[in-house]
Amino acid sequence: MEDCIFCKIIKGEIPAAKVYEDEWVFAFLDLSQVTPGHTLVIPKDHRQDIFDYEDDLAAEVFRRVPRIAKAIKEAFPEAQGMNIAMNNGPLAYQSVFHSHIHLLPRYSEEDGFAMTFTNNQDKYSQAEFKQRAEKIGQAIKLKEDGDEEI
């Protein structure tokens, strides 16, 4: 895509602090550096978000995430953990519309990154949970029966 900042980084038109590259992915330090070592892993083939992935691309991209995460942990042994995040769509806080996975080393509870979830467990019945699970399962089965990718 012509005006995609990440595509320009892949092509070398915009400088980036590259940490890894192969035929499938490009990984580089996020300019924001929410925490030291904050790395983005992107597919070299422009995809807007996870919904644009085929099975083969997903397998190749996500196969590399543990390797890069382990390298970050080795480079920053003081990190106590790591968040791995992927935002898909504006409502999910995606700001660059070239799919990317954030690898965020964690050093302390006050290191500049926070992630919280509201527990709505008491708002829904077991029947509602079961209905939601069945709905998703049916969508998966429809794709499998139609030989389409999910």
To the query of whether residue 102 is one of the catalytic residues in this protein, the response is no
| Cβ contact 112:34 at 8 Å | yes
What's the angle, vertex CA 124, arms to CA 119 and CA 129, rounded to 5?
Answer: 100
| Nearest Cα to Cα of residue 50 among 97, 93, 95 | 97
Catalytic-role residue among 38, 46, 98, 100: 100
Instruction: Give the Cα separation of 129 and 132 in Å (integer).
Output: 5
Exposure b/e, 100-132, CB count within 10 A at least 16 = b = bbbbbbbbeeeeebeeeeeeeeeeeeeeeeeee
Could you list the active site residues? 100
